[in-house]
Amino acid sequence: MENKELLELAIEAASNSYCSYSGFSVGAALLTEDGRIFTGCNVENSSFSLTICAERTAIFKAVSEGCRKFKAIAIVGGAEGNYSHPCCPCGACLQVMSEFCDDDFSIILTNGEFTLGEFLPMRFELN
C-alpha cells in the first residue's frame, strides 16, 4: 500500500471524528504487517482528559482484533477539513506505538514519512 492511499484512508477516518469542543478532527490509518488496515478518529469528551486520539483508537481496534504487528500509520488532522498541515502524534500515542513497534515503524504525515525512532528516541520501557 502506498503512503498516498494510507493518507486518503486517514482523511476518510477523520470524517467520523467527534470533535465538538476543539473543532480539530484527526484521522489515522494503521497498516498491519499482514496487510490489514485499521482506521481511527479522535473522540472528544467534555471532560477533556477522557478524550482519545485517532492513533490510539486505530491501534486499540487492531489489538482488540488480535493484531500486534504493525508496519505504518498515516495521520492527518485539521480544522474544517483542512488537512494540508502535518499533524504529529502526541507523546501518549508515540508511547503506545512503542509498545508494539520498533524504531523503524513508519509514521506518514502530509509532509513526509518519518520513523518512530525519530519521534521517540528514548522510549519508556519497564525493565
41 in a known ligand binding site = no
CA distances from 116 to 43, 53, 61, 105 (A): 23, 17, 20, 5
90 in a known ligand binding site = yes
Is there a catalytic annotation at residue 55? yes
Q: Strands 106-109, 70-79: parallel, antiparallel or unpaired by DSSP? A: parallel
Helix (H, G, I), strand (E, B) or coil at 94: helix
| 6 close to 14: Cβ distance less than 8 angstroms | no
| 86 close to 109: Cβ distance less than 8 angstroms | yes
Catalytic residue among 12, 33, 44, 55: 55
- Active-site annotation, residues: 55
Annotated binding site: 53, 90, 93
Annotated binding site for Zn(2+): 53, 90, 93
